[in-house]
Amino acid sequence: MKFTTAIAVLLATFGTVLETRATDLTLDGSAFYQLGKRITYYGGGGPNQSGRYRSLGSDYYHKANIGSRWITNHSNSGSGDLSFELRAMRYYGGSGGIVLMTRGLNSLPGGSYYSRVERSGHAIFLDRFQFPELDLWEYTRNGWKWRDALTFTKKDLL
């Protein structure tokens, strides 16, 4: 009985040590998005993306730039690969939304940050007013996990 209890305590302690903790990643400071000229993609799957998605499909797109002053890793451990995304939200503070553009970033060591992050690419052209949002996702051994978001307070024609 004592032996079984000791093994159970040892396994519980050992299992806790091996358990992975979520990386504390944030978008900090000011951020921006910029939408440019409209471009049409037919039949070829749309422009290549990086990050969580490789293609968002054939559709109308904008040339686009997204950026954040800092992406900070407040954890002691390094992050997985990151996905920096532009989304369209139906209402301020909403969840879900439509992914317009996704760009990949390398993993971020613990206690460090990326400064003046800017990525260019192509964002889906919705032709309707929505709240723009920048999202940060991290790739973990359990798949992609949402880490932080910054929603712009003014609706814009996306």
Say whether pLDDT at 21 is over 60: no
Where in 11-56 does DSSP place strands (E)? 25-41
Structure tokens belonging to residue 153: 């307070």
Reported as a single tens digit per residue, the pLDDT across 93-129 is 888 899 999 999 999 999 999 999 999 999 999 989 9
Residue type for position 86: L
Say whether pLDDT at 6 is over 60: no
Structure tokens belonging to residue 18: 């091996």
Tell me, yes or no, if the pTM score tops 0.85. no
Residue type for position 144: W
Q: Considering only CA atoms, which of 133, 151, 148 is closest in space to residue 88?
A: 133
Q: Considering only CA atoms, which of 64, 61, 58, 55 is closest in space to residue 39?
A: 61
Reported as a single tens digit per residue, the pLDDT across 42-86 is 666 778 899 999 989 888 999 999 999 999 999 999 999 999 999
Q: In CATH terms, is domain 23-157 a member of 2.40.30?
A: no
